[in-house]
Amino acid sequence: MMKTSQILITTLLVLALSGLGVHTSSAAGGGGAHCADSSRAVAPAGRTAARPVTVWLAGDSTMANPSSGRCPVGWGSQFDALFNSDVTVKNQAVGGRSVQTWLYEPNVSGTKGPDGECRLTSNTYSSRWQAMLNASTGMKAGDYLFIQFGINDSSSTCPRHVGRARYQQLMTMMAQAALARGAHPVLLTPVAAITCSGSTATKNRGFVGETFAAGTATGAPVIDLQTLSVSLYNSLRFCPNNGDYGGNSPLGVFFCNDHTHFDTYGAQRVAGLVAGDVRRRNLPLAAYLR
């Protein structure tokens, strides 16, 4: 009778403790109570793998991959090395192109129309721009499009010539096309050549205001590469100089002998300026930088 009463009391105690959320060992085993589930360590959720991103580049020779020899080397050819393996850089910059010839080649004529712009013989886009717009293999959501022109566009003759209003219009159109595909456009002012006023490097490119205006119209960030490059030249004390762009002189290591294009070291430094501004602005792409 006594044993039956003890079992009954133990059973009632177990039921009461269970109602309070405390787990006990079985009455038959008589062991101590275990910790409640809520106090157990929870394993952290696994980190989501980074989504691969393609960075598309559209521009001129100061951005383009080298074709031969050590000069010129565009900064775009050195951009991929600054990112981790989740980024693929597709450099579609081509030497000698304005924004219009890059977009419409070979359909830009050598004559100007009444509006002062080079006539288009057809509105068909160049194969390089069509490839970027391709729904299957071109720009996709999450990709980036970096656009830098403004060096050849200042030519007074066709087919390179582009007026300021036309330049802004085409830069805006390219940014809008990227946005329509869920990609992120980034506009850049043209990188500076090296010109000196005494001991100070100076700015020497146009289309800066038009680039910023296209950025404002589309919400695209603008990297002022002209200002960044001139600041770099001054920090390296490139001015004044005697025009010696050969050998291992500071200028010769950085520039080709035309004062405009870059040797490999110069291209690496300019690519670093672009990457640095991506990081400074905290663009999502910065998460992929090494």
The per-residue pLDDT for range 69-115, each reduced to its tens digit, is 779 999 999 999 999 999 999 999 999 999 999 999 999 999 999 99
Of 24, 44, 42, nearest to 34 (Cα)?
A: 24
Helices (H), the chain: 2-19, 99-104, 127-133, 164-180, 208-218, 225-235, 250-254, 264-280
**Does residue 242 register a pLDDT over 50?**
yes
The per-residue pLDDT for range 17-46, each reduced to its tens digit, is 344 443 433 333 333 333 333 333 333 333
Higher pLDDT, 40 or 117: 117
Structural element, H or E, at residue 185: strand 184-188
The arithmetic mean of pLDDT across residues 117-139, rounded, is 98
pTM for the structure as a whole: 0.82
Q: Quote the CA–CA distance of 192 and 198 in Å, as a whole number.
A: 17
What pLDDT band is residue 49 in, cutting at 50, 70 and 90? low
Q: Quote the CA–CA distance of 104 and 129 in Å, as a whole number.
A: 8
Q: Quote the CA–CA distance of 97 and 88 in Å, as a whole number.
A: 23
